[in-house]
Amino acid sequence: MVNESTVTRRIALCNSTELVNSELAVPFDVIYHRRPCAAFAIRYQDQVYAYLNRCAHIPMEMDYQPNRFFDSTGQLLMCATHGATYHPKTGACRGGPCRGGLIKIDTSEFDGMVYWHTAPNLSPPVS
């Protein structure tokens, strides 16, 4: 018997061309621990990464303008509220007031599409 809480699904997010290295993110909504939550996907050094849009310092959305998360160097993700910075590849705290790191969402990319993956505590919103 398959335990549905451990089965992951691949959810289409966007065309690969919508994500440009260190540029705008693509936002999406998820259910995390049974609560609605905003998330975002970015491209950094030619790889796609996705995280909950929630600062580890204080659980607030991080973008300083819609879908803008990179600092001025394009090398770190930055929370607009208190300046906490995170590494784009891992979500680990790199500086400023943060406790731990960002909550990562698994992604994949093939045939010109980007996908995010469900997890036991992460699912798509109910339509």
Distances (CA, A) of 124 to 38, 52, 99: 11, 13, 26
User: What is the domain class of 4-123 according to CATH?
Assistant: mainly beta
Phi, psi of 5 (to 5 degrees): -70, -15
Please state the domain extents for the chain. Answer: 4-123
pTM, two decimals, is: 0.92
Going residue by residue through the chain (127 aa), what tens digit of pLDDT does each one get? 445 556 789 999 999 999 999 999 999 999 999 999 999 999 999 999 999 999 988 888 999 899 999 999 999 999 998 889 999 999 999 998 887 899 999 999 999 999 999 999 999 998 7
